Chains A and B, each alone.
Chain A
Amino acid sequence: MTSIDQGPATASAQDAAHVDTPIAPAQGMPVSERVLRVLIPLVMLGALIGLWAWYVAAYNIPKYILPSPELVVQSLIKDWPILGMALLVTLKITFAALGIALVGGVALAILLTSSKWIELALSPYMVILQVTPVIAIAPLILIYAPSTQSALLICAWIVAFFPVLSNTTQGLKSTDHNLLNLFELYGASRWQTMIHLKLPAALPYFLAGLRIAGGLALIAAVVAEFAAGSAGAGSGLAFRLLESQYRLNIPRLFAALILLCGTGVVIYGVTSLISHLALRRWHESAIRREN
């Protein structure tokens, strides 16, 4: 290669080397800034809990209205056998629903984009399923479903499945036409075009759907359980919340709430991480902009 191309070539080589290192937000920052990034949220959290504790103590708030932070923690530890079991039930429903939503959403998206007739026939029902509040159809599902657990699963699935479906459908339709021509030119089969072109092209859309679906699955699992009102050993966190309210066991209610929050945050974090890892090498959304 002559000198003309050396300019961009070497620049890109450096660029490539730079991209080889993982693009974590903390990368390449001075140590002090990295420490601050961890420290500031922690200090903020500590301050809020401190304020809470001070308010409860200073104004003598009764524990059935607002329990102190240490009471909540005590309750979390003391009631762990009950709450832990309930958390497990909620997690099972959430992840089962999310799993089925992912498989079903992607499969249906492939089906819908493969034929416009199928799309015309099915898509109105997909929309109806989505716009009807799940809490409104939960009573019906409870009657039809063989068990409460399966009814909860169906409710959570209905809610989680739509973002996966609509995002993946959009992604599958957004394939670059030139690349489609290219695949046709090289005699690719429908199957090869799907595996090597359409699915990778739809991946960023699918991952955005996954992030939404993850949060929605948890919300729907809780909402459905509120509607179902199941009791006994098989009940999840939502039932424990209601139960604590009836019994005015507000510290336990807070403890259950914290577990739900934590679960939601973890699901969001994990799905975001998956998205980041899958896209970090090539997709604009995962690449830090440098000017």
Chain B
Amino acid sequence: MRLDHVSKTFSNGTIALKDMSLTIGTGEFISLLGPSGCGKSTALRMLAGLGEPSSGKIIWPDPADKSANDKSEGEIGFVFQEPTLMPWATVFKNVWLPLRLKGISKEAARPRVMEALEMVGLDKFVDSYPRELSGGMKMRVSIARALVTRPRILLMDEPFAALDEITRQKLNDDLLRLWEQFGWTIVFVTHSVFESVYLSSRIVVMAARPGRVIDEIEVDAPHPRGIGFRTSQAYGEYCRRTSESLLSAIGTADHL
């Protein structure tokens, strides 16, 4: 998957993204890191097919996957910043939704829904309503819903930003474990240096006004990562480098 000189200008004239080029390899865990307004969410949404680029191209690996319809059918899973669950539907029905929209009946979908819920450890809560769950559990349901179509690419838009530190760390660990297990390609938008270093194989540092890429940092620490990596000297070094890079990004935007 490749972004080729992609730009996006909104109807009010804001340049959300300017000339972004990025190649995403299969099985990579890429973080888009940057301050707010740097176009990282915009880039992610365009990857998902929500909004077309104003100029440039998004190139998909398989020629058959080019059309917007193909992308949305099982190829991509998207996790929003908020859990974005339907409050009137049970956990089961929320996770069933992507399959239901494709016309898969409840009974036919059941094994896959249960599998997705087991992955995130919520299989005991199928009949609960979202309001009965904690913030972290809602996010897990949201992830299960993204996984139920068995996507090859998982796009995550600051999924853990609203969670407390403890829950966030737990979900980071869970996400890494699942990624190591299933080998998806993940594009993860975040504004946390520590989260991006901990999770990613590559960090794309972005700057705002106009939104653009200013640096790419490879994190080639071995997996599985855990508390050992998070307290290691190498981790600290990566965080320092990434922070410096990010700081230079903010420094260029004088009115921040």
Contact = CB atoms under 8 A, between A and B. Distances in A.
B100 interface: yes
Nearest to A19: B132
A9 interface: yes
A207 to B, nearest CB: 12
B69 A187 contact: yes
A4 B86 contact: no
A183 B100 CA distance: 11
A4 B137 contact: no
Contacts of A179: 84, 86
Interface stretch (B121-129, B187-195, B210-218, B232-240): B121-129
Contacts of A287: 131
B84 A185 contact: no
Interface stretch (B7-15, B72-80, B106-114): B72-80
Contact of B131 (A13, A196, A200, A282): A282
Contact of B78 (A11, A15, A182, A187): A182
B134 A283 contact: no
Contact of B101 (A188, A201, A284): A188
Contacts of A185: 48-50, 72, 76, 78
Given A8-B134, A13-B124, A186-B101, A176 B84 contact: yes
B136 A8 contact: yes
A14 to B, nearest CB: 10
A192 interface: yes
A184 interface: yes
Interface string B158-171: 00000000110010
Which of the listed residues A9, A203, A284 has the most CB atoms from chain B within 10 Å of its own CB? A9
A74 interface: no
**Highest count of chain B CB atoms <10 Å: which of A11, A12, A187:** A187
Interface string B29-49: 000000000000000000011
Contacts of A5: 121, 136-137, 167, 170
A221 B127 CA distance: 44
Interface residues of A, number: 34
B80 A196 contact: no
Given A9-B137, A183-B101, A283-B87, A15 B50 contact: no
A185 B81 CA distance: 15
Contact of A12 (B48, B86, B125, B127): B125
A247 to B, nearest CB: 54
A171 to B, nearest CB: 12
Contacts of B53: none
B169 to A, nearest CB: 8
A200 B86 contact: yes
A203 B87 CA distance: 12
A283 B130 CA distance: 11
A187 B101 contact: yes
B133 interface: yes
Given A9-B137, A186-B72, A281-B129, A192 B101 contact: yes
A186 B97 contact: yes
Contacts of A201: 86, 88
A178 interface: yes
Given A1-B121, A13-B124, A197 B86 contact: yes
Given A181-B80, A182-B80, A185-B49, A12 B132 contact: yes
Interface in B59-84: 69, 72-73, 76, 78, 80-82, 84
Contact of B88 (A182, A183, A192, A200): A200
Contact of B132 (A16, A176, A187): A16
Given A13-B125, A186-B149, A192-B101, 5 more contacts: A12-B132, A16-B127, A178-B80, A178-B81, A178-B84
Closest 3 CB pairs of A and B: A8-B134, A187-B72, A178-B84
9 contacts: A5-B170, A11-B134, A19-B129, A185-B76, A186-B102, A187-B73, A196-B101, A282-B87, A282-B129
Interface of A: 1-2, 4-5, 8-9, 11-13, 15-16, 19, 176, 178-179, 181-188, 192, 196-197, 200-201, 203, 281-284, 287
